[in-house]
Amino acid sequence: MGLRIIGGHLKGKRLHPVTGRMIRPTGNRQRESMFNILSHEVGDAVVLDLFAGTGVLGIEALSRGAKFAVFLDQFKEAVSVIERNLRSCKLEEKAKIIRWNIRSGLSCLKTAPLEFDLVFMDPPYNRGDIRPALENLHKTGRLKAGSTIAIEHSSGEPISVDETDFCLIDQRRYGKTLVTFLRYMV
């Protein structure tokens, strides 16, 4: 069936994939379930899409009424595909793309004039990227109090929020994948 937008004003729009095996985009059914859970938080949100890949999560949010999205990915191929997808959806004015290695921190966001309401994080599975990314998100000072973070991850890589400013609000299993929803509590 291919990668497509499943809701909002761009519903049915096909997106360009990243070729090769380095990117694992969120499937249509799983994404639909995630956005059903987040339905009240997307409208007018400022979105951050970390480990963005094709940009499908941020573009889905824009299609459903988010007002702006920032996409971060370290791979040149991914950044190129996100640019193509934003152009084909006519969303360039509502988005910013940053090529950045998230593992080295998120200092690229510290001076951004935006505070994020909603964050999507879809890191490579089982590489230990989640905890550092959460810590770096907190350090940026760019998260709004009460913002939601949706993390797609392997069931073999549980998320611990002990001793952090995040609390677990929901978690769903999709085969070997978990989607964990956190709230930023500062």
**pLDDT tens track for 132-162:** 999 999 999 999 999 999 999 998 998 988 8
pLDDT at 20 over 90: no
CATH number at residue 48: 3.40.50.150
- Tally of residues, the chain: 186
State the residue range of the domain holding 78: 8-16+32-184
Residue 23: the pLDDT is 61
- Digit-coded pLDDT (tens) for 68-107: 999 999 999 999 999 999 999 999 999 999 999 988 899 9
pLDDT higher than threshold 70 for residue 22: no
111 — pLDDT class (breaks 50, 70, 90): confident
Amino acid 24: pLDDT: 63
Can you tell me the distance from the alpha carbon of 101 to that of 7, in angstroms, rounded to the nearest whole number? 30
Q: What angle do CA 62, 40, 179 make, to 5 degrees?
A: 80
Per the structure, the count of domains in the chain is 1
* 119 pLDDT more than 90: yes
* Cα 149 to Cα 171: distance, rounded to the nearest angstrom: 11
Q: Is residue 155 part of a domain?
A: yes
- pTM higher than 0.75 for the full model? yes
In a domain, 90, yes or no: yes
Predicted local confidence at residue 67, as pLDDT: 97
What is the 3-state secondary structure of the chain? Answer: CCCECCCHHHCCCECCCCCCCCCCCCCHHHHHHHHHHCHHHHCCCEEEEECCCCCHHHHHHHHCCCCEEEEEECCHHHHHHHHHHHHHHCCHHHEEEEECCHHHCCHHHCCCCCCEEEEEECCCCCCCCHHHHHHHHHHHCCEEEEEEEEEEEECCCCCCCCCCCEEEEEEEEECCEEEEEEEECC
Q: Confidence band (pLDDT; 50, 70, 90) for 46?
A: very high
The pLDDT mean for the chain works out to 91
